[in-house]
Structure 1
């Protein structure tokens, strides 16, 4: 999710292959022992060099990308993989190249163009953030952690990430990928604890390079290492530039102490809500509640334009009470509005 590409440095830059030797640990370690940590500078250099040659070329990392583009990417990437975010992000930035462009639209348009990214309340929060940016910051995304944190839908992670990646500030950025890399490298555990701890934040702050530019690249590089190499399942340890310093590898890759909760989807209320939202996104008029319950074949001309998502909804064969719960939940979450004529996206 990083914004800046790792710049090549010459003076004082340790080359990658030398780093591997500097980070090497004896192979005949008893399982419980952990490697002596190399100097932080060696870790920083090894990862910075790897990032400079390996990082994905993502549009929100382009130095020309606006702070708004970075903010949109961070909100979209929170719970959705890069490959699904890319086309929606590009469409979004074409449609609304600035917060002011989005702020003039109904919040329902943000939801409509959120597509199938999931967790569409993020679209409402992004719309609310755009309105706040226009009203309180003259239309420009604010550049400090504290100001960013005040925006609707922006938590501590997003505020730190945008301050670092859009404005080049030295911030401690900690996401799921970074937590996993730190857990393996320094704690010798396969996965971090199930919720973020103060100790993890302290460690992340201690690891952050003092140099501002390097700190931005370090955040992006550790995140990228977690996304591409130090993955939750089947990590590619042979490709890791800092494997010689890894406590988890030295301990014989012990299994995690808990099983990560998989996100179930089929048969859940979330699946039904998603199917209802697919209907509302295509509808150009209110959709009567009973249309959600009737088989599409019985609807005739009324279903014109929304027949495909309606049929997909009906194929779920949801119990009537689950469908009612989904409809009511979408209204209470502000993702849909109930009018006398039926349901619409929010105005």
Structure 2
């Protein structure tokens, strides 16, 4: 396998974006919150929400002391609001199990609500400097092209972690840079639709480029259209609840102009099932 680490490290040190969670002293709690917010959400939307969140709740214990409704309300329009509930539950668990300190051990992180393999490894690497492969969508695309010669990655699998582990240097600090650099490269240069191969630090050792940029197809599932979806209906109901909080809203007044009454009711039911809303006496409110 070609040496990808050396050019990635050199490129990252010059080209990495100045993002809050990359600054010295940002802390494990900040890294954890940022990883929750960055799931399926662009960086530009996350940064102002992240800063407001950490100003309000600078520690897990501070968030744990507030009601779940406050977390959902503060989440605002970031999307996928269940992440706010999971983050609140994780904060409670960190307070109760770990003395208010975000754990460093990957298994301990995986035991927290809402934390999967990527987030656990990202916190261990980027907050604590441990050596682990960290793989997100952007990383998987870089690996697919540079190593496998594919235009797009296949479905996520354990092989992605193995492939990333194979290019990591032995030193933990260098390995963390390579983890971050592969992500950064995929986000800014080796993009899904318009890769800028002329600006790529590993273009001369990229299997996809060497093969003549073949279109090997795409196996990823496409996200369902948002307009007119149940997700849009859920978002509309949650906006009303956030605007009214802490007061409840009568069910008949909840987005009463929604064009599909059954879809609206389905959205309300799903929010209750997910714990994002509470129903009582013919009204709905954010969870207390």
- Give the alignment's TM-score, normalised by structure 1: 0.80
Work out which of the residue numbers 165, 169, 174 in structure 2 matches 1:205: 165
Aligned to 1:329: 270
Matched residue SS, 1:113: helix
- State the Cα distance separating 1:108 from its structure 2 match: 1.0
The higher-RCO structure (CA 8 Å, 6+ apart) is 1
Alpha carbons 1:331, 1:337 under 8 Å: kept: yes
Distance in 1 (CA, whole Å) between partners of 2:280 and 2:111 is: 33
Question: Residues 33-86 of structure 1: CA distance to partner in whole angstroms, max 9, x if unpaired?
Answer: xxxx53x2xx21211111111111011111110110000001111110100101
What is the Cα deviation at residue 341 of structure 1? 5.0
- The answer on 1:185 being equivalent to 2:146 is yes
Asked if the contact 2:21–2:30 (Cα under 8 Å) also holds between the matched residues in 1, the reply is yes
Q: Is 1:132 matched with 2:93?
A: yes
Deviation for aligned residue 1:262: 4.1
Aligned residue runs from structure 1 range 39-58, under 5 A: 40=3, 43-58=4-19
Q: Specify the SS of the correspondent of 2:115.
A: coil
Q: Unaligned stretches of 5+ in structure 2? A: none
**Equivalent in 106, 123, 129 of residue 162 of structure 1:** 123
1:287-319 CA distance string (max 9 Å, x none): 00100253xxxxxxxxxxxxxxxxxxx3xx431
1:150 aligns with 2:111: yes
Give the conservation status (yes or no) of the 8 Å contact 2:149–2:211.
yes
Instruction: Give matches, 1:311-326, under 5 Å.
Output: 314=257, 317-326=258-267
Q: 1:254 to 1:339 in 2, by over 3 A?
A: same
Q: Where in structure 2 are the equivalents of 1:222-301 lying within 5 Å?
A: 222-258=182-218, 260=220, 261-284=222-245, 285-294=247-256
Work out the CA distance in 1 between the residues paired with 2:59 and 2:223.
Answer: 36
Find the aligned partners of 2:8 and 2:75 in 1 and give their Cα distance: 34
- Partners of 1:150 and 1:197 lie apart in 2 by 20
CA distances 1:125-153 after superposition (whole Å, capped 9, x unpaired): 00000000000000010111111111111
Counterpart for residue 92 of structure 1: 53
Tell me if structure 2 keeps the 8 A contact 1:272–1:318: no
CA separation in 2, counterparts of 1:66 and 1:198?
28
Distance 1:277 1:256 in 2: 41
CA distance in 2, matches of 1:282, 1:224: 36
**Cα distance, 1:107 vs. partner?**
0.6
**Contact 2:153/2:219 (8 A) holds in 1:** no
Compute the RMSD of aligned alpha carbons: 1.2
1:30-45 equivalences in 2 (<5 Å): 37-38=1-2, 40=3, 43-45=4-6
Which runs of 4 or more aligned residues in structure 1 lie more than 6 Å from their structure 2 counterparts after TM superposition? none
Q: Does 1:60 align with 2:1?
A: no
- What is the CA deviation profile of residues 106-136 of structure 1, one whole-angstrom value per residue up to 9, with x for unaligned ones? 1111111111111110100000000000000
SS in structure 2 at match of 1:343: strand
Note if 1:215 corresponds to 2:156.
no
Q: Which runs of 5+ in 1 are unaligned?
A: 1-36, 295-313
Tell me the equivalent position of 2:283. 342
User: 1:79-102: per-residue Cα shift (whole Å, max 9, x none)?
Assistant: 101001011101000000000100
Asked whether the equivalents of residues 76 and 85 of structure 1 are also in contact (C-alpha less than 8 Å), the reply is yes
Rg comparison, structure with higher value: 1
Aligned to 1:15: none
